[in-house]
Structure 1
């Protein structure tokens, strides 16, 4: 798979890195690889990330997190290059009254991206990363390899706080990401920013392996320092009886409940790190080693506000509201009071763990929802989303399991399609066929076009049938 040095995808690739990567991809226990990925880190990007890491460590050591005063130079730097910034700030004394700056939201990223992107950037360097799209409409978020590269020092900082010392060697596998989906990309690569150490994304679903025993053997052979993934994947790994003891579990993408965190820690015999990150922002926070219910702000270049859900004004410390972000390092999406849609509270002051950056507590994150076929097999909602997102006329969706064999799929459609019944009927039949095939024989899928298209985050997946069964069991 990697017989020649691929310096197009990994410009700094070395012979010894490639040899170790070939051992992983050519292992007799390897999964069914279906993608080739590189970090696109050249000398310029390497210097950017190493400089970012130095600034991060300095800021952490001296508790130099962003405030509404220190973030002003960031805003001013985009005033003459981003048409969006110019329009948002025009005619208001924003330096004297930060709260007068209008909010930026997901709808802006969907409809005003050409205004947001600064006019002095090199568009040839854009990397497109579609967001997970909890509203159903993924955002084609433009990014840069140097900003994506900053994930490495941010993740390494978070695991080091839990006693993990990343090994920068091509003979080492730093992380393997676990997924449980019927279909997803599966690849192995090495990181130029970590001395060529390896990383792989694997699908633990039986579809992803040549033999059932290969998964366990591959993990043992690769010996990753940490396992990453979402709570759904880790819970599936426990149910499958996978046995591997990493140095840490790095959980992201969905809300990690205290009960599941305790179970994961006991099963894998290691600390569990909860990681709050958005594709459009990058890493935001990681769980405090002493109080895991709280998460320390991770990067030094993001300013965090908590705003009232009713008035839009900042709320006093200790109150719940929406998390709003300004700053970041993505040159294509500078954030200006970006409404994340996530709810939480913020706390300032020293922490006994030693990281004195502000602490966040997420109060309504993206809780995992599980669908279940009549035969008992679990369906990952990501597989449902994959079917719906590929259809360009669907702007938002919500899928709910209402019975053992019944689902309701609520959609919001592109305006120009709503009046054309013939086009919609054909699309509806195709969606029903695919979803019925996914949910299994005998399943019934009802499709409605009554889902609100309002630019706000919506609950994408519901399982009222499972909730009803749980309530009946308790009674």
Structure 2
């Protein structure tokens, strides 16, 4: 944090139009981390090795080394001859990341740099994903690369705002920071909810004053900003976290008068792919340190099926055939856009499902998950808005639920949905990982 960076950041924090900040965030990048990210950035732009359907030598070497530092890898690779029997390695699952994380962690890494960032839990029980500042830092060149592929080159420096992230949640962290990996460029995360601003027009004035080069967020936040008639034309919208429907992408591009870059990224894997500038339905794999497989329902390699990830740059969470739960189609070969890396098309990803409170206002499913993740007795959840306007919360619990537990949840949900909300809580949801919809809005006939 250089002095001139801090002075610029201070102006953003102390702005008359600033939201109600509630967190302090820094990138925690050391000089060694900085060198690591810059070397990684060079590999992203040079793209020396085009991924194929065959596990690359670097991956085989990496997992062979991990066999002796991770008990999880040792157990999974026992009796497996590499690389010939790579396909026989059992899949790493979300449940493994939830329940076996201490077995997965390699023993030869420095844990003093470990950062834990829980997922929002919109697809079930949250994962307490361990991460490293240098791996998180790699988001910066990957985002910049995806923007450059759409013709957007960012200006860097403390006198520029790189991006403002939009959220629309009942409660979330709101902060401003300076990115050392972007030469001190400013960044802010804000909440579109009116209660987060001192005056009703401050949201518009804050964005107009600091002129972010691009806006980031999920499709839900962008759609909300459009409906609020936010008057600002960035160089791009950078969308992640949820599936971006074609009709919404076109509407957003028309409204904000800029390209919409779709980004496929998971908290536990980091960025995976970005939308092709020529074929927006497809997304190119973004870096050569990931090996992607697609398996059909029987577990055999296929053109279309579940997406598996191996490799990655997070020293605390090496991935070994991690089953993402997302379904897609993979295509190898050259592309008219000029990117030679394989393309993915999500077929059954994380479609947004929205709810309404008793006053008809939209509710983000993340707000539902945030209430539930505070309760350690909950293993799995399913939330349904019924056609009659009532709500149904189905839970799988570790120990039998007491009356106080149910009453506390009812109070939390009435605070979110309205004091007159009719919510029925059941605790008979199966505890296994069967494929059931996590969120369902029967009034809109949406399924996820």
Normalising by structure 1, report the TM-score. 0.91
Q: Which residue of 2 aligns with 1:386?
A: 370
* 1:466 aligns to 2:441 (yes or no): no
Moved more, 28-37 or 105-114: 105-114
Q: Which residue of 1 aligns with 2:427?
A: 449
* 1:358 aligns to 2:342 (yes or no): yes
Q: Which residue of 2 aligns with 1:269?
A: 257
* 1:117 aligns to 2:101 (yes or no): no
Q: Distance in 2 between matches of 1:411 and 1:243?
A: 42
Q: Which residue of 2 aligns with 1:156?
A: 144
Report 1:35-434 matches (<5 A): 35-59=23-47, 62=48, 64-65=50-51, 67-70=54-57, 71-309=59-297, 311-315=298-302, 317=303, 320-403=304-387, 405-414=389-398, 417-418=399-400, 424-434=402-412
Q: Secondary structure at the match of 2:244?
A: coil
Q: Which segments of 5 or more consecutive residues in structure 2 lack a partner in the other structure?
A: none
| 1:283-334, Cα deviation, whole Å (9 max, x unpaired) | 001100000000000121000000112x11211x3xx210001100100110
Q: Tell me the CA shift for residue 127 of structure 1.
A: 0.3
Q: Distance in 2 between matches of 1:251 and 1:369?
A: 16
Relative distance call for 1:458 and 1:254 in structure 2 (3 A) is farther
Q: Tell me the CA shift for residue 441 of structure 1.
A: 3.4
Q: Tell me the CA shift for residue 87 of structure 1.
A: 0.8
| 1:44-71, Cα deviation, whole Å (9 max, x unpaired) | 1101101111122221xx4533641332
Q: Tell me the CA shift for residue 460 of structure 1.
A: 2.1
Q: Distance in 1 between matches of 2:270 and 2:390?
A: 37
Q: Distance in 1 between matches of 2:151 and 2:135?
A: 25
Normalising by structure 2, report the TM-score. 0.97
Q: Tell me the CA shift for residue 134 of structure 1.
A: 3.1
Q: Secondary structure at the match of 2:11?
A: helix
Q: Tell me the CA shift for residue 455 of structure 1.
A: 3.9
Q: Distance in 2 between matches of 1:226 and 1:73?
A: 39
Please tell me whether the aligned partners of residues 94 and 101 of structure 1 are also in contact (alpha carbons under 8 angstroms).
no
Q: Secondary structure at the match of 1:321?
A: strand
| 1:423-461, Cα deviation, whole Å (9 max, x unpaired) | x22111110111122111321001112323324665321
Please tell me whether the aligned partners of residues 330 and 345 of structure 2 are also in contact (alpha carbons under 8 angstroms).
yes
Q: Which residue of 2 aligns with 1:15?
A: 3
Please tell me whether the aligned partners of residues 342 and 364 of structure 1 are also in contact (alpha carbons under 8 angstroms).
yes
Q: Distance in 1 between matches of 2:150 and 2:324?
A: 27
Q: Aligned to 1:437, which of 404, 415, 418? A: 415
Q: Distance in 1 between matches of 2:384 and 2:247?
A: 24
Please tell me whether the aligned partners of residues 341 and 457 of structure 1 are also in contact (alpha carbons under 8 angstroms).
no
Q: Distance in 1 between matches of 2:2 and 2:56?
A: 44
| 1:65-103, Cα deviation, whole Å (9 max, x unpaired) | 364133212212312111111110011213212101111
| 1:250-270, Cα deviation, whole Å (9 max, x unpaired) | 011111000000000000000
Please tell me whether the aligned partners of residues 246 and 270 of structure 1 are also in contact (alpha carbons under 8 angstroms).
yes
Residue correspondences, number: 445
Q: Secondary structure at the match of 1:403?
A: coil
Q: Which residue of 2 aligns with 1:10?
A: none
Q: Distance in 2 between matches of 1:78 and 1:322?
A: 25
Moved more, 170-179 or 134-143: 134-143
Moved more, 327-336 or 72-81: 72-81
| 1:20-54, Cα deviation, whole Å (9 max, x unpaired) | 00011110000000000000001011011011111
Q: Distance in 2 between matches of 1:299 and 1:457?
A: 30
* 1:31 aligns to 2:19 (yes or no): yes
Moved more, 441-450 or 145-154: 441-450
Please tell me whether the aligned partners of residues 80 and 86 of structure 2 are also in contact (alpha carbons under 8 angstroms).
no
Q: Distance in 1 between matches of 2:41 and 2:415?
A: 47
Relative distance call for 1:293 and 1:352 in structure 2 (3 A) is same
Q: Distance in 1 between matches of 2:134 and 2:49?
A: 24
Q: Distance in 1 between matches of 2:292 and 2:430?
A: 28
Q: Tell me the CA shift for residue 238 of structure 1.
A: 1.0
Please tell me whether the aligned partners of residues 395 and 453 of structure 1 are also in contact (alpha carbons under 8 angstroms).
yes
Q: Tell me the CA shift for residue 369 of structure 1.
A: 1.1
